[in-house]
Amino acid sequence: MKAIKQILFPDNLKEYHGPSLCMKIMKVYTLYLFIIGLLHVFIPSLSITQLFNIDLLEYSKSGRSTLLTLFAIIGVSQLSVGLILYACIRKYKGFIPFLILVFIFNYTLTFLLSIYNPVLSTSLSLGYIINTFIYIILILSFCKIIFDTCSTPKKKGKKVSKSKKK
């Protein structure tokens, strides 16, 4: 338990000692959040129709405007999370394992709540497929951090040999 606590909350937050692949995954995830956030903010109708397979013409005018506003607000929150993640990647690299665990928790709750959502029964949307792919990658990267850190043997100091007396 102490090892996992040290991985999630390291003493030195400015350095990251985990696998470089996980750092690259977080950089790609940050870019993904920026792109999706910008799509939701500036082109919400495209993200509604293409990513989530929702036909806007089935709704009334007030229903369409509500959906567009909702997706724009979601885009702003994704941009905010992307900015926080970018700041953590640049300044506080020690938080990367904790952030990966937070995103795994977020996606787990999303999938548990989507069981009651009719998205699964009608059709699979592109957004759902992308989120499933990201979820799997985040779980694998966190497992890689845990197993690499726990299985790395600690370096032992060199033994100093005693010099022979003359």
Contact 107, 134 (CB under 8 A): yes
In this structure, what token pair is assigned to residue 28?
């790609």
pLDDT of residue 156: 54
158, part of any domain: no
82, part of any domain: yes
Is residue 134 pLDDT above 90, yes or no?
Answer: no
pLDDT of residue 120: 46
Count each helix (H run) and each strand (E run) in the chain, helices first: 7, 0
pLDDT of residue 161: 53
17, part of any domain: yes
Mean per-residue pLDDT over the chain, rounded? 77
Min mean pLDDT across 46-50, 53-57, 115-119, 147-151 is at 115-119
Is residue 79 pLDDT above 90, yes or no?
Answer: yes
Total count of domains within the chain: 1
99, part of any domain: yes
Is residue 121 pLDDT above 70, yes or no?
Answer: no
Of the candidates 1, 158, 4, 6, the one whose C-alpha atom is nearest the C-alpha of residue 94 is 6
Task: State the pTM of this model.
Answer: 0.68
Is residue 7 pLDDT above 80, yes or no?
Answer: no
1, part of any domain: no
Is residue 153 pLDDT above 80, yes or no?
Answer: no
Judge residue 127's burial from the number of C-beta atoms within 10 Å of its C-beta, 0-12 exposed, 13-18 middle, 19 or more buried: middle
73, part of any domain: yes
pLDDT of residue 105: 84
Q: Residue 117's domain spans which residues?
A: 10-151
165, part of any domain: no
160, part of any domain: no
